[in-house]
Amino acid sequence: MSGTDIAAPALPPIIAVFNHKGGVAKTTTAANLATCLAAFGLKVVLIDLDAQGNATAGFGVLPLPAVGSYDVLLGNSEIEPVLAASGFPGLSLLPATTDLRLAELQLATDEHSHLQLRKSLTEHHLSRWADIAVIDCPPSLGMVTANALTAASHVVIPARPDPYTHEGLVNTWHEIKRLKETVNSRLTVAGILLTMVTGDATETDVARTMRAEFGDMVYKVMVETDPKVVEAAQAGVPVVVLDPDGGSGRAYVAATLELLTRLAAGQPLPDGFNQDSVLNTLRDWRARLPALQRRPTESEAWAAVPKAWDDAEPHDDWTPERLTPAEPARKFTMGWLAGAFLAGLALGAGLALTIAG
Ligand SMILES: Nc1ncnc2c1ncn2[C@@H]1O[C@H](COP(=O)(O)OP(=O)(O)O)[C@@H](O)[C@H]1O
Ligand SMILES: [Mg+2]
């Protein structure tokens, strides 16, 4: 991989959710952060880069569509034709397709192929669709992950506080550092989120050790193990909507606020960016769930989504206009986020990779 490092001012903040280990709640974290960001009134695109398609399926998009992030990644499609509605205002999906399995081999042939996703998202104007994007990464250090981390401005690392976590984190950290030094100097670690915490004694020890080693890099909030997460995945909705006031729902709301605070790099968050406001929106979505839950439009290339709620109300048809935040009062958010993001870049060293070196 050569030392090409192109500036990407045309891109919105892009948060890659990455840990090279599987089963650490990457997908759950990506989906719930993206949903909370939308509940704050932001336009959000969740990019599913894992061929398993769990983030896509987690919004009821099953079977996986015929076109999606793979086509954008390889430069074969613009963003708009493959964008799928999540059902929730402001949040759209760049869905996974089974073709993503082929991407590793296809990308391995070209020296500059780690730049492919960043190039496509820039050329195809991701910023028209997103104030902020979240990428669900696969559990590997291959070319798809390299593309995600080359396109990203920030990376959030979910980690379980188990005794094997340390080695996984070190590998993850080295990969991030390598990409930051070679191809993406703007990449900033926006924190380590402890997930699936059961609270047993060993875990508590590991969590304490991680906080001692990584300091403020570890989020104050931890996401506890919560059966509602699995229930939500089965129902095809994120847990922050299914159970906004439950343990994991509230934890993901708090984690999103911590993420935004890190992105703002010292600037205060705008009015309305607080726990109560986002919880109210999520409760409202919960109350309207049968109507909000996404269903395929006629033009979409996949079969009917199984209905999770029998008492479904008539579906409120989804249109691209509705990707715009519903509340005009929040229109300032894009300008704020862009400003905060630039400030974050300027102050990036503070949050950047200070530990691995
Ligand atoms: N807080 C949690 N409580 C209970 N189960 C969880 C929690 N977070 C994730 N899970 C479950 O653990 C499994 C792995 O999570 P997932 O987000 O798919 O991890 P990854 O993407 O890192 O492989 C999934 O079945 C998911 O529903
Ligand atoms: Mg996953």
Domain residue ranges of the chain, discontinuous segments joined by +? 14-294+324-351
Cβ(30) – ligand 1 distance below 6 Å: no
As a whole number, the mean pLDDT across the chain is 84
Output 337 or 82, whichever has higher pLDDT: 82
pLDDT tens figures, 163-196? 888 888 888 999 899 999 999 999 999 999 999 9
For residue 317, what is the DSSP state? -
Dihedral (Cα; 276, 279, 280, 286), 10-degree rounding: -170
Which amino acid, residue 75?
Answer: G
Q: Token pair 């990506």 is at which residue?
A: 30
Ligand 1 centroid to Cα of residue 225, in Å, is: 9
pLDDT (0 to 100) of residue 292: 87
- The closest alpha carbon to 85, from 310, 252, 293, 239, belongs to 293
Q: Please give the number of the atom of ligand 1 that sits closest to the Cα of 23.
A: 23
Output 313 or 161, whichever has higher pLDDT: 161
Q: Which residues pair with 85 in a beta bridge?
A: 92
pLDDT tens figures, 188-207? 999 999 999 998 999 999 99
pLDDT (0 to 100) of residue 62: 87
The residue nearest atom 19 of ligand 1, judged by CA position, is 25
Average pLDDT over residues 203-227: 95
Average pLDDT over residues 302-313: 34
* All residues with CB under 5 Å from ion ligand 2: 26-27, 50, 54
For residue 281, what is the DSSP state? H
pLDDT (0 to 100) of residue 155: 98
Q: Please give the number of the atom of ligand 1 that sits closest to the Cα of 21.
A: 22
pLDDT (0 to 100) of residue 293: 81
pLDDT (0 to 100) of residue 339: 65
The residue nearest atom 3 of ligand 1, judged by CA position, is 225
The residue nearest atom 17 of ligand 1, judged by CA position, is 25
Dihedral (Cα; 348, 269, 148, 166), 10-degree rounding: 70
Cα 329 versus chain centre, distance: 25
pLDDT tens figures, 33-56? 999 999 999 999 999 999 999 999
Average pLDDT over residues 69-81: 95
Q: Which residues pair with 132 in a beta bridge?
A: 44
The answer regarding whether domain 14-294+324-351 maps to CATH 3.40.50.300 reads yes
Q: Within 13 Å, how many C-alpha atoms sit on residue 274's CB side? A: 5
Which amino acid, residue 309?
Answer: W
Cβ(225) – ligand 1 distance below 6 Å: yes
Asked if 257 and 240 count as a contact pair (C-beta separation under 8 A), the reply is no
The sign of the CA dihedral 352, 13, 73, 241 is positive
Q: Token pair 């890659």 is at which residue?
A: 16
